[in-house]
A and B are shown apart, each in its own frame.
Chain A
Amino acid sequence: MTGSIYNWVDERLGLTEAIAFARHKRVPVHAQSFWYYWGGISLFLFLIQVFTGILLLVYYRPGSEAFESVRQITYVMHFGWLIRSAHSWSANLFMFAVLVHMFSVYFMKAYRKPREVGWLTGIALLFLGALFGFSGYLLPMDELSYFATKVGLQIPASIPLLGPFTATILRGGPDVSEFTVQRFFALHVVILPLLFLPLLGLHLWLVQKHGNASPESELAKPLAKRRSVPFFPNFLQKDLAMWLISLNVLALLASVFPWDLGKQADSLTPAPVGIHPEWYFMAPFHMLKILGSFLPGESGEVIGILLFTVGLALWVLIPFYDSENVAGTRGRVAHYFGIFAVTALLLTTALGYWGVR
């Protein structure tokens, strides 16, 4: 019975080829293998986002009723608080997992030839993820999300010439209003997913095509000394175990620390004390703030954004600078640049939180 069903499906979809491919694929085993899980964890958390997001979509109403509908989800619908909490927590865990994934790829030099496009699509997915976070943050329309969005949109607004125009178009007016919520909603549930999913597909395909990259220390060993395990079933088992751990961590956080809903946003109420961006935006904000104190006025902001853009461009284009799989000066420079970037991000994040304390 099972056999005949398998044959029916196999003849039409080619299961045997897929399984043969998965068995053939091998994953290197070495001291840094742990970092291989973080892409999978990110993928899992993204799937959770899709799932809980669709559930929230059942009751959420954008526009002028935004706050009321989130209040309803949180306090009236059974377990609505839990689903909202899981969505918010997994958004944060997703950003964390993606950042760990990116830095591990960076330091393992997994962006080198022929994996440049994997790196670039990954960076694009990170940016889309940040935009998901930024647009989703406004949707409850409570005090915190209202003021955070107001402040956040000052950054594109300070870009010369096009800035103010772009910010006004994003906001749907001169100020954050129900029109802003409506278009952020469209961005969050339609436009961003339409961009994210094909990029994710390409990213995952490239991982299948090129396989996991080995760090330099492994590549230095002779082929016979390198160890690996089949992807199916060995690595997949461990991958799924990681997913289970992620699910448990998420369930614990979401239920023990339910996500808060503040007071309804009101432009006439002064901003609450200690308002600060989400942790994954803290570093860039604080860098701009520091530069702004050195170079006061509009020129400071512009130079800040310029410097930040240059740093970002260097980071994104690293595969084209450090492209060869050999130890050399370029590889070492890239390594130090990575350490500098991590230190700068951690330091400015810490300073940012110190400032709002």
Chain B
Amino acid sequence: MSDVVIAKPEIEEVEPTRTRRAFVAAAAAAGLCYAGAMGYPIYRYLASPAEMAANESAVVEVTLKGAQTLAPASALMFKFGSSPAMLIHGADDSWVAFSAVCTHLGCTVQFEPQMNRIHCACHGGVYDTHTGKNVSGPPPKPLTAYKVNVDVDGIVVSRT
């Protein structure tokens, strides 16, 4: 009998804090649900172009029709997926293709036949025209090289 009397006030003291805690937890959970339900579509909406670019860069091969007529000691700029790339027809009749994105800070590089180099105007990076190796200046890595296949009616550039 006396046990019951002691237990009663204890329950009454615990109960309000418990329900309040449960309410706060439920409200927080509901709030998170709302934030998620709104945040997810907004994130996907804003990320759409990035996703499209990612799909584009999944490209493994680009065919450049008529590119085999490119004069020696000149370059052709083209898009490999979503990023710029260059096809170089060397003075020695060699064919190479590189990503045209400077490995330093992402500027587009250019082929300079008179200097026989690939040059980045942003910070003076220089790459080798045959291998794409970083020769001087700030670039930390060589340009990504692609495989080139010369055909009768075009040139096929593909990932190595």
Point out residues on A near B: beta carbons under 8 Å: 55, 58, 76-80, 82-83, 247, 251
Contact = CB atoms under 8 A, between A and B. Distances in A.
Secondary structure dominating the interface of A: helix
A82 B44 CA distance: 12
A55 B47 CA distance: 12
A77 B41 contact: no
B56 interface: no
A83 B39 CA distance: 12
Nearest to A72: B48
Contacts of B46: 55, 58
Contact of A77 (B34, B37, B48): B48
Nearest to A52: B42
Contacts of A55: 42, 45-46
Interface in B39-75: 41-42, 44-48, 51
Q: What is the predominant secondary structure among interface residues of chain B facing chain A?
A: helix
Interface of B: 34, 37, 41-42, 44-48, 51
Contacts of A78: 41, 44-45, 47-48, 51
Nearest to B52: A76
Contacts, number: 26
A82 B41 contact: yes
A231 B84 CA distance: 60
A83 B44 CA distance: 11
Closest 10 pairs between A and B when the two form their complex, measured CB to CB: A79-B41, A78-B44, A77-B48, A79-B45, A78-B48, A79-B44, A78-B45, A82-B41, A77-B45, A80-B45
Nearest to B49: A77
B77 to A, nearest CB: 26
8 contacts: A55-B45, A78-B41, A78-B44, A78-B45, A78-B51, A79-B42, A79-B45, A82-B41
A251 B34 CA distance: 11
Nearest to B48: A77
B72 to A, nearest CB: 41
Contacts of A251: 37
Contacts of B47: 78
Nearest to A56: B45
B90 to A, nearest CB: 41
